[in-house]
Structure 1
């Protein structure tokens, strides 16, 4: 029976000591904090990735070094399981335990415990593919990660600088190579070819859409979008902005999907460029989120967020399924969180089943897997569409009885190739949106008018201890502190179409308050008053005046 390579582990681990007084937590986005503090975490993740691969009989595991929409000084790392999905939840605990072992000896002891408890056969091979975004801290952190690979004997493939969705794609493509479920060629070029060829087939014979402005957040999406643009050619012209990937401090600064969503305005760099009625979209720093927007004839900003994308895409897929003669056999459903705008939920629920789950991509992804075709988007623009294996098989073998059914069926098959089903993917989702807009002959204005968002406000309250706040019903109701939910309910009843909920942050001592109502003033007022209740209940940070909640 093979044993841990203790000498190599000790020698290399000593080069990456854990900082004292820092606690690391593996969450939905993996580990994420200041890049300058993550050296030890990266080394240990390298070792963990090797063990995860050995546990899964040598299947390839992915490691992505990124902090997505966070500011440039931050960085992070997350593991990707063999089907391109997020790391199995039970292993998040192992990741946190290993990251927080205070010394090399404690780390090796924790490794020994993991190997024993998880019954890992150390004689199995370990294979990993890894990549990073454009952050300045990336190269040094990747070097620490590579030391982890060396320490445990990983056969590692460096995918260099690329987007998070491409890394997820590569993991699935590598692990399905040569099988009946082959996902695509296992290279960035294979990804580009798969998406662009599916897009071209879907829009063949249609009037080409006007050029699309793409805000690349000065991140790795700029490189990927430029390559994709070459593959798309005349089928869709992309006008790329915010592509300064080497300018210090530019990443996600006053641009990108998170900026547009939270500030509800266009990036300042596009103010003199965007014309009324013109479509534009923003990626985030690692190109897994997408937000669309446009200016109306009066120059007013309109945002088309993840809720709007879900409504557009889900209704289109339902039409195609019915058009293919499969309406009775394939159930299409949508998954949202409590942050979804109430107007979007009503629009969707009138057309297909809607499930609400707790915040976090893993909750949405798992719930979407329960449908034959599951559409999930968070309001922040992260999401995708999942086709079950049985549905994919059905689409590939179904015999249509009319030319119209044959056309609809062909579109659905091409959608399974256009959509990155492993993870939310801004570029794949962008092409999906563009397909629907072409078919519907919609501009952003028509798309936006499918339903009108209820005005809403998201605020945060700094609290001494977020752990006193406990929720139920997909985080829509508080069960602790006792009595607080009743006070919130009484407040909400005073507002027309009022809705509000409170949930603790998963990463910091703040409580997030979401509120919506029929007018902006009412939504703001409701959010302010609920924040006040939370502040009073928790003994909020007294250095923050209540007016600063908003």
Structure 2
């Protein structure tokens, strides 16, 4: 008995010694980590830019030379986010459609979605504190979010082709390593590819194989399968011209061009020889309503523009009178929604389908969805995170911004029902075939917050199935003439909005002035909203008569300039 007691006491003493020794070592290691973090924050990645930066709908985005300290701190924060979610988190370095001199960074949450809103506030506060408060702020975040820092954090990082992206990624990597986070660096990738890799990793390969080859193989294999199910082409020609905005998307398109050889002929322009996003890309084409530089348009040949990080896409063509025709995100959304509804009806599947838009959606598109397609439509504030969240409320949610950023989301339960019908031998073959078609289309779609190339391939499959060219697609409905402009202001935060950004709350009197202007134009609609990245107010206007649109837009712009602190040259209203 005594020997047993002595043995237990000795064991307890040894255990206590082991625990104390290791606890001291853990505390020392923790102190060493924070010492390294502080040293890097005060020296190599100190805050040179003294202005504040804000995490907006696209993350942090500003001039590249203002971002060194931001990327370092985001590297630190990504590790904490991984520990908080107990999952792999993504970090993407890109400024999308912005000029070459800009850059940015955003975090990707476990299911490929944008960073949670509460953490946007955390990120904004963290990157703006002084260098000597980096460690204390980190400790605050850990305590506030009750983060288990012993959890092995894992981060996937990617970057676009900008010259500034490599050194900025190195700053982020320094932060990740300083926090002892595990890292997978995929180098130069499109933004949608990074989202895909995060989801695949967190779902243990259920969504797809978490490699770039897995991404290309999943989408191209499904595309070829669906294309092989369609024979009658009618007006459809499997040929298109693509403007890659001199960005990272050109690398992905070249890979798809090889894999889809003989099924889809893609001629690539602006593939990297020119300046990124300069007079080219989806945003340029959408805003300017003109073709991009360097693309030799031919009458009725389908043309596509993607943006610098390949998450936006628009279609366009010229007719035999050389008139430019734009097929934007609204039209892509409606084409997809109409086709999905058609396949659901043919499959005899009772699955809830819905479509989500922003205030920028043309009024004619909303009327067509509601009155002709009879599909429920919701309007949310600008920003993919809002559309994505709302789309999750439907069993199949289609969402697109007018700029061409969007996708389709399928609930797991809907996918299971579709695939069950696709292999049900007891039902008519026509139902099986429609469900099988829909099942393969799901695999062409990258559901992780929008993919320009994936979206383009889905459009091509639909046009092929219907035997349509771009002109036939355009005839689904007629857009109201519309225009977007920017008004420079002293402080964009002086503008606040409500009702999914369709009504202006502040400054007082501005909405009343806009209402007075709108009332003068047949089928007139206009709204204003502050930019998420620069001190400008974005003005949108649409009306029935094309001859009125310039004056209409100018009147609203002048009201913004006068009531919202405009700077620079005052807008001129044409007579």
Corresponding residue for residue 180 of structure 2: 153
Q: Secondary structure at the match of 2:261?
A: helix
Residue-by-residue CA offset, 1:393-413 (whole Å, 9 max, x unaligned): 222223472111101101111
Aligned residues of 1:461 and 1:549 also touching (Cα < 8 A) = no
Q: Secondary structure at the match of 2:522?
A: coil
Aligned residues of 2:558 and 2:570 also touching (Cα < 8 A) = no
Q: Residues 20 and 468 of structure 1: is their aligned pair in 2 closer, same or farther, counting only changes over 3 Å?
A: closer
List 4+ stretches of structure 1 deviating above 6 A: none
Answer yes or no: is 1:469 the counterpart of 2:495: yes
- Structure 2 distance, partners of 1:267, 1:423, is 25
Counting only pairs closer than 5 Å after superposition, residues 253-264 of structure 1 correspond to structure 2 as 253-264=278-289
Aligned residues of 2:491 and 2:565 also touching (Cα < 8 A) = no
Residue-by-residue CA offset, 1:259-291 (whole Å, 9 max, x unaligned): 111111111211xx2210100101100000001
Match of 1:56 among 85, 99, 114: 85
Tell me the number of residue pairs that the alignment of Structure 1 and Structure 2 aligns: 537
Counting only pairs closer than 5 Å after superposition, residues 340-379 of structure 1 correspond to structure 2 as 340-350=361-371, 351=373, 352-379=375-402
Corresponding residue for residue 337 of structure 2: 314
Q: Residues 549 and 190 of structure 1: is their aligned pair in 2 closer, same or farther, counting only changes over 3 Å?
A: farther
Q: Secondary structure at the match of 2:505?
A: strand
CA RMSD of aligned residues (A): 1.7
Q: Secondary structure at the match of 1:281?
A: strand
Which range is displaced more, 202-211 or 142-151? 202-211
Answer yes or no: is 1:396 the counterpart of 2:419: yes
- Structure 1 distance, partners of 2:458, 2:166, is 33
Match of 2:406 among 383, 387, 391: 383
What TM-score does the superposition give when structure 2 sets the normalisation length?
Answer: 0.91
- Structure 1 distance, partners of 2:159, 2:140, is 30
Please report how far the alpha carbon of residue 205 of structure 1 lies from its aligned counterpart in structure 2 after TM superposition: 4.1
Q: Secondary structure at the match of 2:563?
A: helix
Aligned residues of 1:50 and 1:128 also touching (Cα < 8 A) = yes
Counting only pairs closer than 5 Å after superposition, residues 201-216 of structure 1 correspond to structure 2 as 201-207=225-231, 209-216=237-244
- Structure 2 distance, partners of 1:540, 1:48, is 36
Please report how far the alpha carbon of residue 173 of structure 1 lies from its aligned counterpart in structure 2 after TM superposition: 0.7
Answer yes or no: is 1:269 the counterpart of 2:294: yes
Corresponding residue for residue 127 of structure 2: 99
Aligned residues of 1:291 and 1:306 also touching (Cα < 8 A) = yes
Answer yes or no: is 1:487 the counterpart of 2:508: no
Corresponding residue for residue 515 of structure 1: 541
Which range is displaced more, 308-317 or 489-498? 489-498
Please report how far the alpha carbon of residue 468 of structure 1 lies from its aligned counterpart in structure 2 after TM superposition: 3.0
Residue-by-residue CA offset, 1:212-268 (whole Å, 9 max, x unaligned): 111111110001100111111211111111112xx4x61111111111111111112
Counting only pairs closer than 5 Å after superposition, residues 79-118 of structure 1 correspond to structure 2 as 79-103=107-131, 105-118=132-145
Q: Residues 217 and 413 of structure 1: is their aligned pair in 2 closer, same or farther, counting only changes over 3 Å?
A: same
Please report how far the alpha carbon of residue 549 of structure 1 lies from its aligned counterpart in structure 2 after TM superposition: 11
Corresponding residue for residue 7 of structure 1: 35
Q: Secondary structure at the match of 2:493?
A: helix
Please report how far the alpha carbon of residue 458 of structure 1 lies from its aligned counterpart in structure 2 after TM superposition: 1.1
Corresponding residue for residue 18 of structure 2: none
- Structure 1 distance, partners of 2:357, 2:570, is 33
Please report how far the alpha carbon of residue 361 of structure 1 lies from its aligned counterpart in structure 2 after TM superposition: 0.7
Please report how far the alpha carbon of residue 442 of structure 1 lies from its aligned counterpart in structure 2 after TM superposition: 0.6
Please report how far the alpha carbon of residue 65 of structure 1 lies from its aligned counterpart in structure 2 after TM superposition: 0.7
Which range is displaced more, 437-446 or 14-23? 14-23
Answer yes or no: is 1:298 the counterpart of 2:315: no
Corresponding residue for residue 472 of structure 2: 446
- Structure 2 distance, partners of 1:461, 1:438, is 42
Q: Secondary structure at the match of 2:526?
A: strand
Corresponding residue for residue 32 of structure 1: 61
Aligned residues of 2:391 and 2:409 also touching (Cα < 8 A) = yes
Match of 1:281 among 290, 304, 311: 304
Aligned residues of 1:515 and 1:524 also touching (Cα < 8 A) = no
Aligned residues of 2:199 and 2:207 also touching (Cα < 8 A) = yes
Aligned residues of 2:561 and 2:570 also touching (Cα < 8 A) = no
Corresponding residue for residue 250 of structure 1: 275
Q: Residues 82 and 341 of structure 1: is their aligned pair in 2 closer, same or farther, counting only changes over 3 Å?
A: same
Which range is displaced more, 41-50 or 513-522? 513-522
Which range is displaced more, 116-125 or 21-30? 21-30
What TM-score does the superposition give when structure 1 sets the normalisation length?
Answer: 0.95
Residue-by-residue CA offset, 1:347-388 (whole Å, 9 max, x unaligned): 111211110111111110011110110000100000000001
Corresponding residue for residue 196 of structure 1: 220
Please report how far the alpha carbon of residue 477 of structure 1 lies from its aligned counterpart in structure 2 after TM superposition: 1.1
Q: Residues 495 and 322 of structure 1: is their aligned pair in 2 closer, same or farther, counting only changes over 3 Å?
A: same
Corresponding residue for residue 253 of structure 2: 225
- Structure 2 distance, partners of 1:125, 1:428, is 33
Gaps of 5+ in 1: none
Q: Secondary structure at the match of 1:459?
A: strand
Residue-by-residue CA offset, 1:165-199 (whole Å, 9 max, x unaligned): 00000001111115xxx011111110000000111
- Structure 1 distance, partners of 2:512, 2:165, is 47
Q: Secondary structure at the match of 1:128?
A: strand
Residue-by-residue CA offset, 1:306-347 (whole Å, 9 max, x unaligned): 011011111000111111101xx2111110001000111111
Q: Residues 479 and 130 of structure 1: is their aligned pair in 2 closer, same or farther, counting only changes over 3 Å?
A: same
Please report how far the alpha carbon of residue 547 of structure 1 lies from its aligned counterpart in structure 2 after TM superposition: 2.5
Which range is displaced more, 515-524 or 161-170? 515-524
Aligned residues of 1:460 and 1:510 also touching (Cα < 8 A) = yes
